[in-house]
C-alpha cells in the first residue's frame, strides 16, 4: 500500500481506504483491509455504521485512522458538539481522527459550524477537521471561518464517470494543501462488474470495453484500473466500499503501481468530462 499526506499535516494515510456507506460486511472485510495497509476507515453519523467500525477496530485502534462526519442537518454550534459526542459513543472511542462536515448548509452560517469544529479540536475530541461535498466557493468560505486549525480534507464524488471536480476543485485543493477523498470511486460498482455489452449501450459500452482492455494490459482487474486512474491526480485518495473480503483485497491491489500516461489518456477519452 502506498500512502499520501493528509493535507499538510505530516500524517500519512493510505491512497486506498475503506468506505462504509451501506456497509453490512461485519468486521472481517475491514480488518482484512487494515492488514493490507488500508488503515483509513470512513464512516458518518448518517451511515449508521459507526458502531460497526468501532467493533472492527477494537483491539487495533492504534493502527487505524478513523474518519466520520456530522450530518448536514446538525450544523448549529451545540448540535455539532452533541453529534461528535454521540459519534464517539457509537465508535466506543475517545477521539475522532478526522471529523468532517457532511455537506454545507444554506440555513446555518458556516462560521458557526466551523467554530464548533475548532472547539472539538481544542477539547481533544477531534484531531483534524475536514468537509465533504463542498464546492471551491464553499471551501473558501469555510477556510475563511477558521481561526486556529486548517481544513485538511474535502470528501467528494469522483470516478471515471463523474469527473467534474477536475475543472476547479482538484487544482484548488492541490494548491492549498487539501486532500481530496473520493467517495463512490467505482460508480456504485458499475466500474467493477462486467456488464452485458450490447450495441444498444453506445458510448457506455465502448467506455467499459476500453477499461477492460486497459486493465488486461496492466495485468489488473477493471476495478483496480478504475481506482488507479483516480490516484493519478494528487492529492486524491479513494475510499471504495465493499462487504466482501475478496473485493477488499482486490481494491487494495489498486495501490502500489500506476497506469501508463497512454492508458490514462485512453480512459479519459472513453469517459469524457
Q: For 83-141, write each residue's pLDDT tens digit.
A: 999 999 999 999 999 999 999 999 999 999 999 999 999 999 999 999 999 999 999 99
What residues in the chain have per-residue pLDDT under 50?
A: 198-202
Active site residue 47: yes
Contact 159, 232 (CB under 8 A): no
* The pLDDT of residue 206: 83
What is this structure's pTM? 0.94
* The pLDDT of residue 204: 57
The percentage of residues in the chain with a pLDDT greater than 90, rounded to a whole number, is: 93
Residue 243 CB coordination number (10 Å): 15
CA distance 223 to 232: 15
Catalytic residue selected from 3, 23, 47, 149 = 47
* The pLDDT of residue 194: 66
* The pLDDT of residue 198: 47
* Domain ranges across the chain: 3-187+230-258
Looking at the structure, give the CATH architecture of the domain made up of residues 3-187+230-258: Alpha-Beta Barrel (3.20)
* The pLDDT of residue 273: 85
Amino acid at each position: 500500500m502506498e500512502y499520501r499526506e493528509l493535507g499538510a499535516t505530516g500524517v500519512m494515510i493510505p491512497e486506498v481506504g475503506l468506505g462504509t456507506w451501506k456497509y453490512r460486511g461485519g468486521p472481517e472485510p475491514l480488518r482484512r483491509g487494515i492488514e493490507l495497509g488500508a488503515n483509513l476507515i470512513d464512516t458518518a453519523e448518517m451511515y449508521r455504521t459507526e458502531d460497526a467500525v468501532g467493533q472492527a477496530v477494537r483491539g487495533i485502534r492504534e493502527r487505524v485512522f478513523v474518519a466520520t462526519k456530522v450530518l448536514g442537518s446538525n450544523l448549529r454550534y451545540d448540535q455539532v458538539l452533541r453529534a461528535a459526542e454521540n459519534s464517539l459513543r457509537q465508535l466506543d472511542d475517545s477521539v475522532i481522527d478526522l471529523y468532517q462536515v457532511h455537506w454545507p448548509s444554506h440555513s446555518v452560517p458556516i462560521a458557526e459550524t466551523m467554530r464548533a469544529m475548532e472547539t472539538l479540536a481544542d477539547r481533544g475530541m477531534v484531531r483534524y477537521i475536514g468537509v465533504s461535498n463542498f464546492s471551491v466557493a464553499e471551501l473558501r468560505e469555510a477556510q475563511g471561518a477558521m481561526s486556529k486549525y486548517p481544513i485538511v480534507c474535502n470528501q467528494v464524488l469522483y470516478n471515471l464517470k463523474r469527473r467534474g471536480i477536475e475543472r476547479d476543485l482538484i487544482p484548488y485543493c492541490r494548491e492549498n494543501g487539501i486532500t481530496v477523498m473520493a467517495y463512490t470511486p467505482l460508480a456504485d460498482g458499475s466500474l467493477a462488474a462486467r456488464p452485458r455489452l450490447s450495441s444498444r449501450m453506445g458510448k457506455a459500452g465502448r467506455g467499459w470495453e476500453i477499461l477492460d482492455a486497459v486493465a488486461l494490459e496492466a495485468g489488473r482487474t477493471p476495478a483496480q484500473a478504475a481506482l488507479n486512474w483516480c490516484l493519478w491526480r494528487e492529492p486524491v485518495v479513494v475510499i471504495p466500499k465493499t462487504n466482501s473480503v475478496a473485493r477488499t483485497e482486490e481494491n487494495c491491489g489498486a495501490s502500489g503501481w500506476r497506469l501508463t500516461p497512454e492508458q490514462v489518456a485512453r480512459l479519459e477519452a472513453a469517459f469524457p468530462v
